Amino acid sequence: MLLLNGPNLGVLGRREPEIYGTDTLADIEAAVTEEVRAQGWEVLSVQHDGEGDLVGAIHRHGESTVGAIVNPGALMMAGWSLRDALASHALPWVEVHLSNVWAREQFRHESVIARWRAGS
């Protein structure tokens, strides 16, 4: 299972804890690892602040994983190359966020990542 985390998620735990909580990325990775281990899967965790690095990770690991959990961070609003990389692989994946983005600022209400998954 590919666990893909985008920009600024490497500083979880100290980044705006009133919004994102106090769990670190390592805490989240451990929780996901424990959860998917029950399915017999291993987790490959990748976090980059640059979109190109995330795209490269998808191309490198997209064919060798059972799926992906993707927290694109701010790339949900502008990550067109990330969107295209996810679309280019048949692996199942899910987009997740740590906060309720639809209860926050208007500019966070539409994900370019999710758009293609909905048949658009």
Q: Tell me the per-residue pLDDT of 38-96, one tens digit each, with 9 for 90 and over.
A: 999 999 999 999 999 999 999 999 888 999 999 999 898 889 999 999 988 888 999 88
Could you tell me the pTM of the whole model? 0.86
Residue 117 in this model has a pLDDT that exceeds 60: no
Residue 118 in this model has a pLDDT that exceeds 50: no
14 contacts: CB under 8 Å, gap ≥ 6: none
Structural domain containing residue 67:
2-118
Q: How many domains does the chain have?
A: 1
Coil, helix or strand for 69? Answer: strand
20 part of the active site: yes
Q: What is the CATH number of the domain that holds 7?
A: 3.40.50.9100
97 part of the active site: yes
Mean pLDDT of 12-32: 94
Rounded Cα distance between 31 and 4, Å, is 14
Catalytic entry in 48, 61, 89, 97: 97
- Predicted local distance difference test score (pLDDT) of residue 57: 96
Partners of 68 in the β-ladder: 2, 93
